[in-house]
Structure 1
């Protein structure tokens, strides 16, 4: 997959137009956790029991980009200027392609001007509880896995590993309704809805994976989690506890160092530096410690090289990374699929913007079964019960969107019948 993406990027180019949104044509989708097996030699993964594809990437030639700040929509059509053999189109062919693109923009504008028939977003009922959702690992099995991981740490195999568990649920709602509710209950820096024949992704990831804009690389690791408080005072106490907790701070420092090493593999010598360190970020259900690492890419390297150097993020695998991934294969009973990979885009100007695929729901092709995964970072003094609870707290943000989405879907279907 990575080789195919690199070939596509090498055969397409577009100017980086200042007045347009960052993405105005390129490749959009997700690369799952197991794509790293194209780069690192790892033992066989656990079974892919849901049959989720390792990657889904689509070439985007038409897009509507919504500027939330200016409340403006940009309608963009890419115009192909070369044929399949790489020859520049004739003047007549270029004019015809331009005119077709203009017509497409006009058609899109007419569609956007029409009244929307979408169901009004129904906010969740305050205090509404979601149903209990079974895990791919019983609570006892996850606790045992944490104990085994700690044995690996004490033996010197690793310093830290992220163990995840999967939760499956009968969705009983249109995935797009889940996305619309999720924008209300868990707004995050990266919100995405990707519908494909083989799977649909609905997500609200708080964590950038890696960005490349021009020659500037940015990695923003998140490590250290607490649930949100019941009120302002409780929230402040939990935040202070997180910021001062020795285990959380040590784990965060370790993963920032790992991010610096990853960026350093493709950055100019001496350009890698932390720009932010241990900043507290709050979301609807949890709060996190966040840092930012930047660097300048070396000449001759591009976005695929950056992905190869950084996948998967240390915050969803561990340290040392390859040995941690081997232990994940040993202890997690099912393949991760899209979880802990990346979702985002690569554009024709050589830019890259990706988020870590966490806080994400994967809906199978049948539209019935939805899965979400959540993990916790295990270190030498981890408490198994606390790590299991952290997984459930992270999953709760997505699960909280489902009841309201079910009501929206039911309302629309009753109106249509």
Structure 2
């Protein structure tokens, strides 16, 4: 099916990799072709509002991190090497969805039985041997440590409480086969918000463990991650690591800080008194790491639409910090690369107006035209952060991608 979808210039595939959760609506979901597209140059949220109102159908797409510049009147001067637009949505020609025991095909232009046959008969693409990308780190260790100390001084002065600071790994003149790289990434790191997203010559190969926001009926939830510790092959030591994360005062303080930020964001669009932390300090286990995840939910006010929700909650607190506007200014000051689609969100809106969007982390971005490959990682910096430890956490988060790229 992925080989079949990859024939299209625009396609999007989501997979929860069999993680069981009451919050997952589908096992996997794929959309291909574009009947209508949206990628406005300005007044992006206003245009998005009208687009969603006009097209009461499946809509797939992404929100780039730098949509913040419209929401908060900020600016960004760093280079966008990959080139994903700040906002892109499309009404697909074909949508295929899978639940426990069934697969359904919805199409605007073709016969569903023909689509099924073309998928079943699609030959698998054999991987070819390509040179290993020459991966470089744009911010080397001493620069990272120096920046963390500067950020700690900002916190000491009261500029902010917590900031998500990210660094970029990149390769120029990189030749990869995106579909095969994605398959290898998911084999090594099968996470519940994985995504293969193709927008013409730009690819997102995503193994995200984090949900940004989901709406079901009148209920909205967000599930921020703050708190990470590595897995261990020895069962007893792995459980010790899990317990260490659960009881870590540092990670709990970071987590509750972002929970408060999410609660504040949701309170702008939810009914008074309805926003609650449904789960606090939940420990979830993934192939490389244990993560501390909390769930915040609320009941939406009347007449709140998708664009209103994005304006109130984006960018997500787990990828910025607090207070949000000030830390986004500091992120622009101290990071060296435009984040682009990284730390943005990819997702879908269904015909009933419900939606689900991930947080774009643990992802490879690739531009096939200029052969630029990028992946970014980060961690939450507080006054009590140890710069060496934070750098090691960044390397840990990049480990699965390093394995995939050789």
1:136-192 alpha-carbon deviations (Å, 9 max, x no partner) = 211111111111110010001100000000111365431100111222111111111
Q: Cα–Cα, structure 1 residues 348 and 269, in superposed 2: closer, same or farther, change >3 Å?
A: same
- Partner residue in 2 for 1:20: none
- Give me the CA root mean square deviation: 2.1
1:346-365 alpha-carbon deviations (Å, 9 max, x no partner) = 23321221001111111013
Aligned equivalents of 2:122 and 2:81: distance in 1? Answer: 42
Q: In the alignment, which of 34, 59, 63 is matched to residue 31 of structure 1? A: 63
Answer yes or no: is 1:12 the counterpart of 2:55: yes
The aligned length equals 360
- Partner residue in 2 for 1:98: none
Return the offset for 1:305.
1.1
Alignment of 1:270-349 (within 5 A): 270-349=273-352
Q: In the alignment, which of 32, 48, 51 is matched to residue 80 of structure 2? A: 48
Contact 1:55 1:338 in 2 (8 A): no
Contact 2:202 2:365 in 1 (8 A): yes
The alignment partner of 1:400 has SS state of helix
1:78-117 alpha-carbon deviations (Å, 9 max, x no partner) = 4xxxxxxxxxxxxxxxxxxxxxx4x431320221232643
Alignment of 1:101-180 (within 5 A): 101=109, 103-114=110-121, 116-119=123-126, 133-169=135-171, 171-180=174-183
Return the offset for 1:311.
0.6
The alignment partner of 1:168 has SS state of strand
Contact 2:202 2:366 in 1 (8 A): yes
- Partner residue in 2 for 1:351: 354
- Partner residue in 1 for 2:31: none
Runs of 4+ in structure 1 deviating by more than 4 angstroms, as ranges, are none
Greater shift, 42-51 or 166-175, is seen at 42-51
Say which structure is richer in helix. 1
1:211-257 alpha-carbon deviations (Å, 9 max, x no partner) = 11111101111100111124212212211221122111111111111
Aligned equivalents of 1:57 and 1:235: distance in 2? Answer: 41
The alignment partner of 1:358 has SS state of coil
Aligned equivalents of 1:166 and 1:155: distance in 2? Answer: 27
Q: In the alignment, which of 197, 204, 207 is matched to residue 204 of structure 1? A: 207
Return the offset for 1:369.
2.6
Q: Give the TM-score normalised by the residue count of structure 2.
A: 0.84
Aligned equivalents of 1:171 and 1:63: distance in 2? Answer: 32
Aligned equivalents of 1:313 and 1:375: distance in 2? Answer: 14
Contact 1:164 1:374 in 2 (8 A): yes
Instruction: Find the structure with the greater CA-based Rg.
Output: 1
Return the offset for 1:367.
6.9
- Partner residue in 1 for 2:191: 188
Aligned equivalents of 1:357 and 1:348: distance in 2? Answer: 24
Aligned equivalents of 1:45 and 1:152: distance in 2? Answer: 21
